[in-house]
Chains A and B, each alone.
Chain A
Amino acid sequence: MIDDPEEIFAECKKINEKYNYFTEVGQGAGDSNKGMLNGLYITVKDNICVKALDATASSKILKGYMPEFNATAIQRLLNQGATVIGKTVCDEFGFGSFNTNVGLDFKIPKNPVDVTRVTGGSSGGAAGITALANFRHVAIAESTGGSIECPAAFCGVVGFCPTYGLVSRYGLIDYANSLDKIGIMSKKVDEMIPVFNAMIGQTICSDSTVVDQRPKEFKPRKLKVGIIKESLKGMDSHVEKEITRTINALKKIANVEEVNLPFTFKYGIPTYYLIATSEASTNLAKLCGMRYGIQGDVEQKTFNEYFTEIRSANFGEEAKRRIMLGTFARMSGYRDAYYIKATKVRTLIIQEYKKLFQKYDVLISPTMPIVAPKFEEVKKLTPIQNYMMDILTVGPNLAGIPHASIPIHKSGLPVGLMAMTEHLEENKLFHFLKLVEEL
């Protein structure tokens, strides 16, 4: 473990040369407080604002945008003495499952265990540096439909996403407001708990959060665990082996039963993509070369010509695809059939989870059905095949329940187990994750 800031910056730069985890290595502003996070170094996903560091969400259209403020979640960590040491690469605006959809001119991160494989996405840089950091570190990342859990599983680290709304989204470059959640990655569960506790709540900014609610207390007892049956189909052999071993070990310390979640499995993907792209298409409308990032010459051009030119030249392919899909789903004549329909199906998905939580403390599934694929395997996937990869992670994200991926592999490539609890039951989730850590 190294502890000298200069050495840590040098180490991050060295790691970055080989693995492409950072969009920028450098210290955020205002890191001089004393508190319970003194000596902790944090990296921040590039779609979260940190004062004095560029915030691009790994998109060319935001190149050169340097926020004058810290996101609330980050400011709260700085107040407790944490130090920001850089911004981590992601899929452009979080639009991806493998972190291969980085914006134009950005470099794709490589898996820390095998550089011929992807990190997973969209928080790929965050997961990679968490795996390789040889200093006291946690990564602050963000999940919309699986962007923390998937890369955590592929890179072999713990990735945690809290109840929707518990952590302020002020200063997060939004992808889909009703789904976006700032969360944490670390090597061990214990490392993220004080960070989570410091991150909850507001600062002085107006905001919409559930800040008046706190995570519920939890007194350790024997847990009732439901394994989601539908999630056990279609796993690759390595994932299946590790999951089976883990479930057998869990049976010795918890009451484990198989449960069904058929509705979410059948309808989760279209519901997620219709809602997420609809929200993204409006959120990204502000990116047009005026207030943020790339700017062109406004003379001699009409309003629409200028905006269209800037957006067409600077958004990557997947960003364009999702903006288009979302625009379509909200278009007059289609809105009710696509966007509004999806918001109603979402209600039924939330109810399906709620019903299971009346009987079970924790639900589990593999995080991803496969191990981290090779770059050439990802290239062959069509957009819909890509979207289908999120089958296990979109459910808890749509329901806004706390969930986490925890590494369970004893050999070979990393495999993650995903655990989920009822809203505001983060403390129960942490307790369960620590049990899994000991298996």
Chain B
Amino acid sequence: MVEINKELIEKVAKLSNLKLTEEETKKFEKDFKEILNAFKVLDEVDVSKVESSFRPFEERNHLREDIVRESLKDPLAQIKNKENNFFKAPRTV
């Protein structure tokens, strides 16, 4: 059984690219405990011989014909951070 504590909540927040306030961290710790406790009921289901359903109903990819069509007029029209027709992102290193 996983132990829900402040460190875990902070780790999950970091992976989610979220910075939580002290108050939010406390609240989510409490919520996680309650929610995951209620979800524990799934432990009793034996799924050893069951396949996953990543979709409820068969779907297929439908590719359009490879023909030239009108593209977006100006994909950068609504972008504030741009330079020479490129998105301008924050530095990575």
Contacts and interface: CB of A to CB of B under 8 A. Distances in A.
A273 B32 CA distance: 12
Contacts of B20: 312, 320
B79 A295 contact: yes
Interface in B27-53: 28, 31-32, 34-35, 38-39, 41-42, 45, 47, 50-53
A297 B54 CA distance: 38
A205 B70 CA distance: 12
Interface SS of chain A: helix
A331 B12 contact: yes
Given A208-B62, A210-B57, A328 B12 contact: yes
Contacts of B75: 68
A270 interface: yes
Interface residues of A, number: 79
A327 B56 contact: no
Contacts of B64: 204-206
B10 to A, nearest CB: 11
A303 B92 contact: yes
A324 interface: yes
B17 A307 contact: yes
Given A206-B61, A270-B39, A308-B18, A327 B12 contact: yes
A165 B57 contact: yes
Contacts, number: 178
Nearest to A423: B57
B53 A347 contact: yes
B61 A302 contact: no
A309 B19 contact: yes
A270 B51 contact: no
Interface in B41-93: 41-42, 45, 47, 50-64, 69, 72-73, 75, 77-81, 87-92
Given A206-B63, A210-B60, A387-B35, A308 B17 contact: yes
A178 B42 contact: no
Given A68-B72, A295-B80, A302-B91, A383 B62 contact: no
A341 B42 contact: yes
B82 to A, nearest CB: 10
Given A209-B62, A320-B18, A327-B15, A346 B28 contact: no
B56 A324 contact: no
A324 B15 CA distance: 9
27 contacts: A68-B73, A68-B75, A68-B77, A165-B57, A178-B55, A202-B62, A206-B63, A210-B60, A266-B41, A302-B91, A302-B92, A303-B91, A304-B17, A307-B17, A308-B18, A320-B24, A324-B9, A338-B39, A341-B45, A344-B50, A347-B50, A347-B53, A348-B50, A383-B31, A387-B35, A398-B56, A400-B57
Interchain residue pairs A-B with the least CB separation, the first 6: A400-B56, A343-B52, A344-B47, A270-B39, A306-B90, A344-B50
Interface of A: 64-66, 68-69, 163-165, 178-179, 202, 204-212, 266-267, 269-271, 273-274, 281, 285, 288, 290-291, 295, 297-299, 301-309, 311-312, 315, 317, 320-321, 323-325, 327-328, 331, 334, 338, 340-348, 350, 382-384, 387-388, 398-401, 423
